[in-house]
Structure formats: C-alpha cells, structure tokens
C-alpha cells in the first residue's frame, strides 16, 4: 500500500531520516564538495566542489558554527552529505560524535555515500553513533548489485545496527536496483531527477527536458518511479519529488527557524518568512532620533530594534507612524525576508 501526497511524492516505507526530513527537522551537513565520481546528474554547484563545510546554507569554520545552526532550527537530526563524505572519514566521525554529545543520542544522523565501506569503516561509523546509511551506487553498477561491494556493506551496516538503504535518482534502470533492495529487504529512496545550474549541460546532452515551467523536475522521471510501483516492483520505496523538497521540506525548515528566532514584533508567515516594518535612516544618530520619536508615541521598547541605521518594528505599527518618521529617513518599508541574519529579502513594500 503506498501513500501519495499532493506534490506527487509517494512511499510504501519511510526511513526515520526521511520522516524527520519531511518535518523540516533535519539539518543538512555538507562535509566536503570533493568527490571522485562524475555523475551526469550531480547537483553540487561549482562553488561547492571543493573542501568546504556547510550546515544548511551556513559556512562552517568551527564546531560552534555547526552547533549554532542546529540550535537555530531546533534540529532533531542531521543528514551528512557532500561531495563524497567518506573521502574525509575523520571529519564525518568527528561531526557525528559532536552532534550526539551536544544534542543527545536521540539526534538522528544519516549518511549519504557513493562508496561501499568495509567493515572497519562501518564499525567506526557505528561507534561514533551513525543511525542510518544510504548508499548511492553509480548507474554503471546497477546490473550487478548483488555481487557488488554494496551488498556486503549493507550486511556490515546491519551487523552494527545501522539502518541501510539505497538512494538513487529515478532514471532508466531503477527496477534493477529495486529488485536488489527487495532481495536485501532494505529501503530504496528514489529522487525525482532535477535540472540544476551545474548539471543542465550534461542533462540536455543526454536528451532530458524539463517537465514544465514551474519546477526543475525532469520529464518522465516521476512516471518511471510510478510505473515501477504499479508493476509491483517496489518493496520498501520512497519517491521524493523536486516540488516536495522545495515546497514542503524547505518551508518546514524555515518555519522552525522563524519560530526560534523571530522577534516579538515579527509576523511569521505560513511560508516561514518574517514580515516587519523597517525605517532606514541616514546614520546611527538619525536612527536614535527616530527611536526616541517612536518611544514618545508610546511604542514599548520590546517592539523596537535598532540595527545600526535601521530601526525595525511591527509592520502594523509602522503603518501608523510612517508619516511621522519619514523626515530624515531614506526608506520606510514593510519587509518580508527569510528568517536568518541578513536573510534573503522576498519583498519590500515602500510606505
Ligand atoms: S556521487 Fe554524489 S556528489 Fe559525487 S558526483 Fe555523484 S551525485 Fe555528485
């Protein structure tokens, strides 16, 4: 029996990592952009294809950066990805230990890897606290999965109580992978194939085209996954659409961050953005004068925040006082932005 949602995603089975991801509660830890493979569909951007670490969109220069990002989104777990994470195994062990010691054993960690680790590496991952591993075998190996090293790695993971599965894009050949995962009784995560800036050239050369104008999904990828399910060739499968990742997972993550970081006067939208009023002054001195004016108007201090030359308050407060403060200011607007420090401004409405 499969469950389908309104973005087209469906599943007969959801791993714990996917369950938390759907709540927007997983932090994405990108441990390196370096990878020895050359998948034509690789979505990693040119800027990230080097030895860099990101926690969600935040550059990680020290452990504290990672901890802060997890706190800000109230993360219940972390997905480790890359590049190829196991090219930097010591870093992976370190981050798993760090997250488990900071947030407790219940902080669920899954790892995505294109290699098939030996028993020693798996035992070290287990010792550090890894909960789930998703293998991403190259398409050239899909014909011989049963005799591939991935079959052995899945066995090692099980010996050490790590949930194991396969994660690949939904392209021609997935039924061979599905036959393998059914035989191994492990989960199969299929991602809808997507165009990105980094893979567009290679994908076009292979004849892939966009499904439509409003998403990056590749035409036919969803049908391949659906047909496989209809033919009864699924087993424990989860198909995740491009729209689902953008529309649901990202939104849920933004809402979590906004709830944790919004000021009393910020309005949190259903999309996870925040709306507030902004008075941009000529300089810090002018900002002080505007603040005094707002205080004289009876606006309590907790409803005002001054950031250098920007005075911020509730959007509905600003609507009332806009004419009073306009003099000596550069811009008086209602701002909607992503809920991070210097988050992307979605809309700015001048008053
Ligand atoms: S294994 Fe992953 S990171 Fe490496 S090239 Fe393939 S898709 Fe990109």
Candidate CATH numbers 1.25.40.10, 3.20.20.70, 3.30.460.10, 3.40.50.2000; the one for domain 3-259:
3.20.20.70
CA 285 to chain centre: 40
Measured in angstroms, how far is the CA atom of residue 42 from the centroid of ligand 1? 5
Q: How far is the C-alpha of 123 from the C-alpha of 119, rounded, in Å?
A: 6
Instruction: Report the residue among 44, 51, 115, 203 best suited for mutation to probe ligand 1: largest number of ligand atoms under 8 A from its CB.
Output: 44
pLDDT, residue 216, reads: 85
Q: How far is the C-alpha of 348 from the C-alpha of 279, rounded, in Å?
A: 12
- pLDDT band (50, 70, 90) for residue 242: confident
Measured in angstroms, how far is the CA atom of residue 114 from the centroid of ligand 1? 7
Residue nearest ligand 1's atom 3 by CA = 83
The least confident of 276-285, 312-321, 339-348 is 339-348
Ligand 1 pocket, residues with Cβ under 6 angstroms: 35, 37-39, 42, 44, 82-84, 114, 136
pLDDT, residue 232, reads: 65
pLDDT, residue 170, reads: 94
- pLDDT band (50, 70, 90) for residue 233: low
Neighbours of 79 (CB within 10 A): 21
Q: How far is the C-alpha of 331 from the C-alpha of 351, rounded, in Å?
A: 8
3-state secondary structure of 53: coil
Locate the ligand 1 atom nearest the alpha carbon of residue 44 and give its number.
Answer: 8
Q: What is the mean pLDDT of residues 43-71?
A: 95
Neighbours of 106 (CB within 10 A): 9
Q: What is the mean pLDDT of residues 115-143?
A: 97
Most confident residue range from 12-16, 116-120, 289-293:
116-120
Q: What percent of the chain has pLDDT over 70?
A: 97
Instruction: Assess contact for 112 and 81: CB atoms under 8 A.
Output: yes
Q: How far is the C-alpha of 211 from the C-alpha of 214, rounded, in Å?
A: 9
pLDDT, residue 184, reads: 95
Q: What is the mean pLDDT of residues 21-46?
A: 94
Residues in a beta bridge with 278 = 312, 333
Instruction: Report the residue among 82, 114, 196 best suited for mutation to probe ligand 1: largest number of ligand atoms under 8 A from its CB.
Output: 114
pLDDT, residue 111, reads: 98
């Amino acid at each position: 029996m499969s469950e389908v949602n309104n973005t087209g995603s469906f599943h007969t089975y959801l791993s714990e990592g996917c369950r938390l991801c759907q709540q927007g509660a997983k932090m994405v830890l990108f441990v390196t952009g370096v990878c020895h493979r050359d998948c034509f569909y690789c979505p990693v951007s040119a800027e990230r294809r080097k030895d860099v670490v990101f926690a969600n969109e935040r550059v990680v220069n020290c452990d504290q950066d990672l901890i802060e990002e997890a706190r800000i989104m109230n993360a219940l777990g972390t997905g480790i990805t890359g590049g190829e994470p196991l090219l930097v195994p010591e870093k992976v062990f370190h981050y798993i230990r760090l997250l488990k010691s900071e947030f407790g054993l219940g902080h669920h960690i899954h790892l995505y890897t294109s290699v098939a680790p030996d028993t020693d590496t798996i035992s070290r991952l287990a010792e550090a606290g890894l909960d789930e591993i998703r293998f991403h075998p190259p398409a050239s190996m899909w014909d011989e999965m049963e005799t591939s090293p991935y079959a052995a790695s899945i066995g090692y993971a099980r010996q050490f109580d790590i949930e194991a599965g396969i994660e690949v894009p939904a392209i021609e050949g997935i039924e061979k992978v599905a036959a393998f995962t059914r035989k191994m009784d492990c989960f199969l995560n299929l991602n809808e194939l997507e165009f990105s800036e980094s893979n567009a050239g290679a994908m076009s050369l292979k004849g892939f085209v966009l499904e439509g104008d409003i998403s990056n999904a590749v035409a036919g990828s969803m049908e391949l996954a659906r047909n496989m399910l209809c033919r009864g060739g699924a087993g424990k499968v989860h198909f995740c659409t491009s729209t689902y990742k953008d529309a649901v997972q990202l939104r849920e993550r933004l809402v979590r961050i906004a709830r944790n970081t919004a000021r009393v006067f910020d309005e949190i939208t259903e999309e996870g953005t925040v709306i507030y009023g902004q008075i941009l002054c000529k300089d810090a001195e002018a900002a002080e004068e505007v603040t005094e004016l707002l205080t004289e108007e009876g606006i309590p201090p907790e409803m005002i925040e001054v950031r250098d030359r920007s005075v911020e308050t509730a959007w509905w407060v600003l609507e009332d006082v806009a004419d009073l403060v306009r003099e000596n200011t550069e811009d008086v607007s209602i701002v909607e932005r992503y809920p991070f420090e210097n988050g992307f401004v979605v809309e700015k409405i001048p008053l």
